[in-house]
């Protein structure tokens, strides 16, 4: 296996095809990253929401007990 | 025959806890495969004699297209299992597979368009392969839209599943389009029945990328199904226990 380009500069330009190849790479990597990061963020949100619900429920129970 | 494993697999709780153990490994494997494949394909694979360096887009285009098709089969199969056995989990898998597949189909079309410019001289051609992939994108979006079109989740699930099943007609059409019609799109690089029409030096990194995309698909699907499980099972005892455990740990760390 050998590096196919003579210089780093040539690796970037790819004899004129660099703009096409690198656009494809950057856009693909961005979209793939979003597909993994999005559920991570939503997972956190859902957990926080459920925890808040539980807290609210507990407070309601406590205040009900105080009334009686 | 013992069907216990089948029913256990349909349990959201079992799925959630099992994938918790798998996710870290899957994540590491995905990252390693994708980085290796991409560096190998972009820098070390030999240049194509006819297309020059633009052919390197193949290392994203082919895996994305392949997973867009395989993902559609998975989505339709999940829909069918949901319709027949009324499994909650399989409808969740179907719902999460739709946006994932839509993004992969979009990527296949996008990288294809970029590859088309230096190779065919145009970003877009109404060619059989390209057009049938565009229909696949609309099918994915249709399944996704139907999920939100109904007040009741149950009706939405059924409608999505039926559309997904009808849409499977499109998959063999996409696969065979390059043979059935005279098209600009080059014939398949990889075929089920023949050896790949590519030199091994070019083919090996492609194989690594395809494996990487399969792992990525599993990773992304598992992650979003897990969110869906938490959301839909929020009233169940096990989700409440899970969340309160996490909350207590947080409070413990903070204080």
How high is the pLDDT of residue B1?
Answer: 61
How high is the pLDDT of residue B199?
Answer: 86
Give chain B's domain count.
Answer: 1
CA–CA distance, B11 with B14 (Å, rounded to integer): 5
Q: Is residue B245 part of a domain?
A: yes
Q: Which DSSP helix (H) or strand (E) runs through B231?
A: helix B200-232
Cβ separation of A46 and B231 shorter than 8 Å? yes
Q: What 8-state DSSP symbol labels residue A39?
A: H
Q: Is the pLDDT of residue B248 over 80?
A: no
Q: Which of B79, B77, B137 is nearest to B103 (CA)?
A: B137
Residue-wise pLDDT for B23-66, tens only, equals: 999 999 999 999 999 999 999 999 888 888 999 999 999 999 99
B74-B77-B81 Cα angle (round to 5): 135
Q: Is residue B36 part of a domain?
A: yes
Chain B residues in contact with A4 (beta carbon < 8 A): 43-47
Chain B residues in contact with A39 (beta carbon < 8 A): 220, 223-224, 226-227
How high is the pLDDT of residue B50?
Answer: 84
Q: Is B87 part of the contact surface with chain A (CB cutoff 8 Å)?
A: no
Q: Is residue B3 part of a domain?
A: no
B201-B69-B182 Cα angle (round to 5): 75
Task: Report the 10 Å Cβ neighbour count for B252.
Answer: 8
Q: Is residue B26 part of a domain?
A: yes
Cβ separation of B244 and A4 shorter than 8 Å? no
Q: Which of B188, B196, B142 is nearest to B165 (CA)?
A: B142
Q: What is the 3-state secondary structure (H, E, C) of chain B?
A: CCCHHHHHHCCHHHHHHHHHHHHHHHHHHHHHHHHHHHHHHHHHCCCECCCEHHHHHHHHHHHHHHHHHHHHHHHHHHHHHHHHHCCHHHHHHHHHHHHHHHHHHHHHHHHHHHHHHHHHCCCCCCCHHHHHHHHHHHHHHHHHHHHHHCCCHHHHHHHHHHHHHHHCCHHHHHHHHHHHCCCCCCCCCCCCCCCCCCCHHHHHHHHHHHHHHHHHHHHHHHHHHHHHHHHHCCCCHHHHHHHHHHHHHHHHHHC
Chain A residues in contact with B110 (beta carbon < 8 A): 24, 27-28
Give the gap in angstroms from C-alpha B179 to the nearest C-alpha of chain A: 26
How high is the pLDDT of residue B192?
Answer: 67
Q: Give the residue from chain B lying closest to A31, CA to CA.
A: B103
Residue-wise pLDDT for B155-170, tens only, equals: 999 999 999 999 999 9
Domain ranges, residue B165: 22-249
What are the tokens at B32?
A: 């390693």
B192 or A35, which is more confident: A35
Cβ separation of B53 and A51 shorter than 8 Å? no
Q: Is the pLDDT of residue A13 over 60?
A: yes
Residue given tokens 């839509």 in the structure block: B102
Cβ separation of A2 and B44 shorter than 8 Å? yes
What are the tokens at B131?
A: 């057009």
Residue-wise pLDDT for B194-229, tens only, equals: 777 788 888 999 999 999 999 999 999 999 999 999
Q: Is A8 part of the contact surface with chain B (CB cutoff 8 Å)?
A: no
Three-class SS state of A41? helix
B114 within 8 A of A23, measured Cβ to Cβ: yes
- Please, how many CA atoms are within 13 Å of residue B189, restricted to the half-sphere of its CB? 17
B156 within 8 A of B148, measured Cβ to Cβ: yes
Give the gap in angstroms from C-alpha A68 to the nearest C-alpha of chain B: 27
Three-class SS state of A25? helix
Task: Report the 10 Å Cβ neighbour count for B117.
Answer: 15
What are the tokens at B96?
A: 């999460």
Which of B23, B49, B56, B220 to mutate against chain A (most A CBs within 10 Å)?
B56
Chain A residues in contact with B231 (beta carbon < 8 A): 46
Q: Is the pLDDT of residue B8 over 80?
A: no
How high is the pLDDT of residue B254?
Answer: 54
Q: Is A53 part of the contact surface with chain B (CB cutoff 8 Å)?
A: yes
Chain B residues in contact with A38 (beta carbon < 8 A): 224
Share of chain B above pLDDT 90, in %: 64
Q: Give the residue from chain A lying closest to B115, CA to CA.
A: A20
B195 or B106, which is more confident: B106
CA–CA distance, A41 with A54 (Å, rounded to integer): 20
């Amino acid at each position: 296996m050998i590096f196919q380009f003579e210089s780093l500069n040539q690796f970037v330009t790819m004899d004129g095809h660099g703009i096409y190849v690198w656009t494809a790479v950057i856009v693909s990597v961005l979209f793939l990253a979003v597909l993994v990061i999005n559920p991570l963020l939503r997972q956190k949100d859902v957990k926080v929401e459920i925890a808040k619900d539980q807290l609210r429920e507990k407070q309601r129970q406590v205040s009900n007990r105080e009334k009686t | 025959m013992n069907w216990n494993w089948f029913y256990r697999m349909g349990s959201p709780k079992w799925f959630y806890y099992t994938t918790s153990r798998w996710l870290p490994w899957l994540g590491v494997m995905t990252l390693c495969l994708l980085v290796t494949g991409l560096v190998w394909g972009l820098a070390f694979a030999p240049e194509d004699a006819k297309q020059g360096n633009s052919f390197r887009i193949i290392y994203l285009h082919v895996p994305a297209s392949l997973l867009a098709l395989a993902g559609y089969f998975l989505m339709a199969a999940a829909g069918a299992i949901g319709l027949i056995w009324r499994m909650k989990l399989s409808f969740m898998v179907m719902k999460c597979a739709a946006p994932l597949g839509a993004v992969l189909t979009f990527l296949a079309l996008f990288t294809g368009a970029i590859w088309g410019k230096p190779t065919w001289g145009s970003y877009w051609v109404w060619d059989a392969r390209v057009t049938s992939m565009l229909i696949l994108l609309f099918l994915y979006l249709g399944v996704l839209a139907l999920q939100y079109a109904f007040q009741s989740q149950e009706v939405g699930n059924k409608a999505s599943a039926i559309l997904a099943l009808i849409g499977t007609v499109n998959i063999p059409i996409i696969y065979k389009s390059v043979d059935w019609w005279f098209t600009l799109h080059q014939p398949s690089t990889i075929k089920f029945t023949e050896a790949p029409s590519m030199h091994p030096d070019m083919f090996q990194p492609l194989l690594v990328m395809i494996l990487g995309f399969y792992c990525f698909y599993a990773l992304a699907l598992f992650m979003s199904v897990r969110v869906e499980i938490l959301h839909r099972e929020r009233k169940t005892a096990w989700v409440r226990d899970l969340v309160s455990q996490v909350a207590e740990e947080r409070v413990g760390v903070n204080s």
